[in-house]
Structure 1
Amino acid sequence: MGYSRRSLDEVIGMLREHEVRALVDVRMWASSRFKPEFSKNRLAASLEASGIAYVYLRALGNAGKFSGAGRVVIHDPEKGFPELTELLERHRSVAIMCLERDARECHRMDVSVEMSRRLPDLEVTHLGMPEPSAQLL
């Protein structure tokens, strides 16, 4: 899910509605100048107060966005994908979060496609998208 143009209450509401147990933050930097409530410490405290675990997983951040590569470059896939797999096993219902509202414009799509390849039985839902997520993969 992307938090752009969403309030923290809206994000937490969506997570609760979909019974998400853990939010995995896949931004390269877990901070926001424009929405400080989405900075790591404040976000973690708000989620934990709502019964949702928070995990910052920089390894799955898009290093290409800031390098001028012009394409998605997952920061540390060898570390990140196994760690996300472990989080899925532990929490069962996990959401990955970055800034962009539309998953098609974010590296979350690349992460979800790779996780679907690694775990063929994984059910992926893109929260907050106007069309069915199956059409996105």
Structure 2
Amino acid sequence: MYYRRKILLALLSVFDGQLTAKQFQKYLFLFTRKQEIKSFDFVPYRYGCFSFQANQDIATLAKYGYCTIAENRKVRFFELTKDDDFFNTLKPEDRKSLLEVKAQFGNLRQSDLIRYTYRQYPYYAIKSVIAKDLLNSTELNTIELQKRHYHEKQLFSIGYEGISLEAYINKLIINDVNVLCDVRKNAYSQKYGFSKKTLELACKSVDIEYVHIPDLGIISNKRKELSSQEDYDDLFREYEKTTLKENRASLLAIRSLLDKGKRVALTCFEKDPKQCHRTCVANALMQLPETDYKFKNL
């Protein structure tokens, strides 16, 4: 079993085997603040800090009978059903941190727990739909100051190699990206969060539009046996002469988004923009007439 999933089961165990979904996310968040290398990343969400990965993991654990997911009066609960003493399989520092979270916050009402996270970590409250019911005007203003609002249209490039879905989404939020243009031929990934449906839902949950533009992708068999930068450069020269030229309409569709004042990010897998065709797409967009937007790699 993945170590991070043992943490989730240990968390439920420490809190007497049952937590609401909101409590679960908040306690897990506070626990990870104590970790040097965090087991989970979080995004600002409807009720504050939220980990897509943890939510997926708890669903997987429920599937295999370690816990149940129930709903009562529109409140979701996670309940431990198989306790194999995962707490004692954790690293000593993680056991200590879980007990500290329980001691410090275990007696708080759910509303007070959420209020605490909003006050201490205001960035994670910027998408909250309940902040106005929990905080005073000064605290709400602190959250408002965490929001990124840029009036300049801009083109970005971002790869998801080596980072979590949450870290990826946070990069988009911090740069006030409005539209994510996925230029993969096939929007599928074995890495959690980056297949089309999951990525689209994650973007929608933080008010980012997702658009898949497969016409600008490169078929997978052309991406095999790329062992040097020269191999990539050869591939991209061919791509610019063929696919990119043949699909100018798709390129202009992205330009149309920029012309409407959108802040648009092109995405694919590779971390290194020199080894990804999204850079070719970005260069082509920057070379169009009357370009009045800037370009930045994230």
Would you say same fold, with TM above 0.5? yes
Which structure has greater strand proportion? 2
Q: Give the drift of 1:91.
A: 5.3
Q: Which has the larger radius of gyration?
A: 2
Alignment of 1:4-15 (within 5 A): 4-15=161-172
Alignment of 1:61-100 (within 5 A): 61-63=217-219, 66-67=221-222, 71-72=235-236, 73=239, 74=243, 76-90=246-260, 92-100=262-270
8 Å contact kept, 1:59–1:79: no
Paired with 1:114 and 1:122, the residues of 2 have a C-alpha distance of 13
8 Å contact kept, 1:22–1:91: no
Q: Secondary structure of 1:54's partner?
A: strand
8 Å contact kept, 1:25–1:98: yes
- Sequence identity, in percent? 29
8 Å contact kept, 1:5–1:101: yes
Paired with 2:195 and 2:260, the residues of 1 have a C-alpha distance of 24
The amino acid across from 2:251 in the alignment is F
Give the aligned length: 125
| Structure 1: 4+ residue segments shifted above 6 A | none
RMSD over aligned CA atoms reads 1.9
Corresponding residue for 2:297?
126
In the superposition, the TM-score normalised over structure 1's length comes to 0.82
Q: Highest relative contact order (Cα 8 Å, sep 6+), 1 or 2? A: 1
Structure 1 gap ranges (5+)? 128-137
Q: Secondary structure of 1:67's partner?
A: helix
Q: Deviations over 1:6-49 (max 9, x none)?
A: 1010011000110000110000100102x131000110001100
Corresponding residue for 2:202?
46
8 Å contact kept, 1:24–1:54: yes
Distance 1:91 1:46, change over 3 A: farther
Which residue, out of 104, 118, 121, partners 2:274? Answer: 104
Structure 2 gap ranges (5+)? 1-157, 224-230
Corresponding residue for 2:177?
20
8 Å contact kept, 1:2–1:100: yes
Q: 2:216 matched to 1:60?
A: yes
8 Å contact kept, 2:165–2:192: no
Q: Deviations over 1:75-99 (max 9, x none)?
A: 6422211111122234510000000
Paired with 1:87 and 1:30, the residues of 2 have a C-alpha distance of 21
8 Å contact kept, 2:180–2:266: yes
Corresponding residue for 1:32?
189
